[in-house]
Structure 1
């Protein structure tokens, strides 16, 4: 595989891990990105190992399995007041969802 394809795979994977911000194995990343980007498993494994060596992502080994995740130091800390505000917004949106679902059930029942 050429260096430009390796760099492309690495940037796609880095972006994916940063956006999702949760741990994945190389197999998980391959399965999640293969359809969209056509990345091969070998390219995914090599790109993830390269990103880990460069310090752009972190790697943990559990027995024979390696887990990769975004470097948390790149994200800003969130204060307790911001978290409480987000929790309040989530509760408000969940209430709205329940209202809309109830309206939909009522409309379906009226048919």
Structure 2
């Protein structure tokens, strides 16, 4: 009986050890996140700089108040924040579009965000 228990426990210990050393996928390790702009709990995803004259600058919506780490969601209903834009970045609504925002970059270009 002892001869059967020893190999069994060795097998069990080796199995548990290999399970602990495998990487665990989480949001913060190795996951890719979209560039996002959150305005009053509405999420807009970056389309890059593909404006090509399609959108005109409309009303100013506000400024990015906080830059957060990817995957972080804040619970303030009035906050404008992003995981890519710097604090202080000015945000405009695209003229005639409710679901498109334009973020003014330092170099004078605009990054498009769409809901």
Scaled to the shorter chain, the TM-score interval is under 0.3
User: TM (normalized to structure 2)?
Assistant: 0.23
Answer with 1 or 2: which has the greater Rg.
2
Relative to the length of structure 1, the TM-score reads 0.24
Richer in helix (by share): 1
